[in-house]
Amino acid sequence: MEFPLQILPIGGLGKIGMNCMLVGARDRWIMVDCGVQFPPVTLIGAERILPDTATIARWRDKIEAIVITHGHEDHIGALPWVLPVLDPAVPIYASRFTTRLIEHRLSEHGLWAPSRMRLHMPGERFDAGPFEVEPIRVTHSLPDCSALALRSEYGTILHTGDWKIDAEPLDGEHFDHAAFERLGDEGVQLLLSDSTNILSPGRTRSESDVARGLPRWVDGWAGRVIVTQFASNLHRMQAIAGIARDSGRQLVFCGRSLWRYYDAAVASGRPPFPAGSVIDIEDAKGLDPSRVLIITTGSQGERRAALARAAEGDHRHLVVGTGDRVIHSARVIPGNEADVYDMFNQLSLRGADLVAGRHTDVHASGHACQDELADMFRLVRPAHFVPIHGEYTFLRGHAELAKRCDVPATTVLQNGERFGVRAGTTRGSVADTARLDIELLDTLYNDGPVTADADDLHLKERRRIAWNGLVLVDVTLQRDPEGRLNGDARVQTRAMWDDGGTLPGALAVVAERAVHACPPRTPIKEVEEAVAASVRRAVRKATDKRPDVIVVLHQGRAH
């Protein structure tokens, strides 16, 4: 085989999320990460988007291990759907903290099997499939994040996972520059690096900057302070807990997922602050507002999350009003802006003071900006580069940056493109690599108990009916003494304007006329079609819409 080192991205390339990649050497493979993608707000009918399990199933016999870089949902969230198509003996390697998050997810689906879990630790090498894997500590926005150096006799692939270079990490766990540099000295055939923040120049803020910036919004505020953040960001939690302590405020959690991540940190032996120093919102009644600091979920205005419900006056325990200050310690994920602004407006209308926006310094991204991405190239000096984790335009942008950083060969891939690196190359040229094959990936959608593709979930039909509506025409057919057809029609409409209730009656008349216009011996199927066509025309004329028209015909009893 000319190209023994290979990758097959299943997800994560071209759209943000659903990170999942097969990495192989001489046709022995491992899976790196196994995440979901959260659908855009415009998609109706699915809660999550999943990697194509049918394709993964075809690779089943070749996949010898799963290795997880960190515990975000877009890296572990698809495990409940992917594990069932893999050999149950395949081990899952993850850090201590990530393992606790995986335990939670898999337990929900009755799939938790501690025996298949293997702990990995930064710097401690282990064998997985054809690779000797070395997790290398990176900083990101939750604990225990690793890049993966995948060494094999044919060369080394470095998969960065998600990362930034936080010079002052709150948990004291530093980005391991030295390990990357050592790896660079050793020689890396293929670098795969996170493209999420390629559009942002400069460097990301440190979590310590946020920890220093937040107090100015808390100190001197006489009422309650409510901070909303991503639940997984234990570092942010730690910073806020410190501010609560320093300002003499009781720390309060509002939102179940905060507890989930906090508990995972406790269970992995590194709580971000002492147990007992936080209480739940249910137990926070009657406290002096000036002595309260609440952390809440719902930073994206998600309708069912705590802060959005509080904004709608619909949360049992979190009632927001005058005197409250709400700090939005998160970015707005693109696409969520309208929901987030609606939430902000509602909170303001209730009298809350709002601290939000780019210029308030209350958030730090977890992803490397351009200067850090360039640092990675300089540290690792890869022979080849494939940008991962990002919109397709981000991957293209990251490729441009690689060029400016003198990376000798870069290829922008899409999900499903299998890509190989020639054995033993240490300085890259495009001739040393090849696009080998394309797996035509299906997109899977999950909606509660149902997982299916777009057709089977009728995703297009949902939008079409929501925009155009549905008309049900129920006709009882009769023949008059001359054998001519008569119909008695009842019409119901759904999901459409019905002219204050008068449209159905008007359409019933249209349907009855259509029946009456049919010659005596018209086959029933043709009567049905004639009714549907007439009703469709009449709706079109009245509303300019093309609803689904369902005609149900029955032979009536003779009068």
Residues that bind its own copies (CB under 8 A): 14-15, 40-42, 44-45, 199, 201, 334-335, 337-339, 341, 344-345, 347-349, 354, 356-359, 391-393, 396, 414, 447-450, 452, 456-458, 461-463, 465-467, 469-470, 472, 474, 476, 492, 494-498, 500, 542-545, 548, 550, 552, 554-557
Dist. CA 158–CA 421, nearest whole Å = 13
CA distance 120 to 420: 27
Structure tokens at 65: 């291990």
Q: Based on CB atoms, which residue is closest to its own copies, 139 or 410?
A: 410
Minimum CB–partner distance for residue 317 and its own copies (Å): 24
Name the minimum Å distance from CB 194 to its own copies.
17
Q: Which amino acid is at 350?
A: R
What are the φ/ψ torsions at residue 264 (nearest 5 degrees)? -65, -35
Whichever of 397 and 420 has its CB closer to its own copies, that residue is 397
Query: Measured from the CB of residue 523, what is the shortest distance to its own copies in angstroms?
Result: 18
**Minimum distance of its own copies from residue 390's CB (angstroms):** 10
Residues present in the chain in total: 559
- Residue 77 tokens read as 């969230």
CB of 255 to its own copies, least distance (A): 22
Token output for 332: 């707005």
Pick 63 or 477: Cβ nearer its own copies:
477
Nearest approach in angstroms of CB 163 to its own copies is 22
Beta partners for residue 134, in sequence order: 149
* CB nearer to its own copies: pick between 359 and 559: 359
Q: Which is nearer to its own copies, 67 or 198 (CB)?
A: 198
Alpha carbon of residue 165 to chain centroid: 23
Check: CB of residue 5 under 8 Å from CB of residue 150: no
Pair 229, 306: CB distance under 8 Å: no
Nearer to its own copies, 101 or 399 (CB): 399
In whole angstroms, the minimum distance from the beta carbon of 428 to its own copies comes to: 22
Q: Please, which residue, 285 or 359, has the CB nearer to its own copies?
A: 359
Comparing CB distances to its own copies, the nearer of 64 and 417 is: 417
As measured in angstroms, the least distance from the Cβ of 71 to its own copies is 25
Residue number, 134 or 339, with CB nearest to its own copies: 339
Identify the DSSP state of 282: G
Q: Coil, helix or strand for 25?
A: strand
Given the complex with its own copies, which of 349 and 509 has the nearer CB atom? 349
DSSP percent split of the chain into helix, strand, coil, nearest 5: 35, 25, 40
Q: How far apart are CA 39 and CA 26, in angstroms?
A: 35
Distance, in Å, from the CA atom of 537 to the CA atom of 534, rounded to the nearest integer, reads 5
Cβ atoms within 10 Å, residue 283: 12
Instruction: State the SS3 of 67-94.
Output: ECCCCCHHHHCCHHHHHHHCCCCCCEEE
Q: How far is the CB of 327 from its own copies (least distance, A)?
A: 13
To the nearest 10°, the Cα dihedral for 70, 72, 73, 78? 0
Cβ 191 vs Cβ 160: under 8 Å = yes
Rounded to a whole number of angstroms, the minimum distance from the CB of residue 187 to its own copies is 31
End-to-end Cα spacing for the chain: 82
What distance separates the 2 farthest-apart alpha carbons in the chain?
A: 97
Angle at the Cα of 333 from the Cα atoms of 330 and 339, rounded to 5 degrees: 95
Q: Residue 24 and residue 30: Cα distance in Å, rounded?
A: 6
Displacement of CA 506 from its chain's centroid (Å): 46
Give the nearest distance from C-beta 22 to its own copies in angstroms. Answer: 22
Q: Tokens 């009656």 identify what position?
A: 505
Choose between 10 and 352: whose C-beta lies nearer to its own copies.
352
Q: In this structure, what DSSP letter does residue 286 have?
A: T
Nearest to its own copies of 458, 516 (CB atom):
458
| Residue 253 or 344 with smaller CB distance to its own copies | 344
- Residue 412 CB, shortest distance to its own copies, in Å, is 9
Q: SS3 of 122, please?
A: coil
Q: Measured between alpha carbons, how far is 434 from 126 in angstroms, rounded to an integer?
A: 29
Say how far apart CA 81 and CA 20 lie, in whole Å.
13
Question: What's the closest the beta carbon of residue 205 comes to its own copies, in angstroms?
Answer: 16
Closer Cβ to its own copies, 80 or 155, answer by number: 80
Q: How far is the CB of 183 from its own copies (least distance, A)?
A: 30
Show Cβ contacts of residue 556 under 8 Å, excluding neighbours closer than 6 positions: 476, 477, 478, 488
In the three-class reduction of DSSP (H, G, I as helix; E, B as strand; rest coil), residue 226 is classed as strand
As given in the structure block, the two tokens for residue 523 are: 């086959």
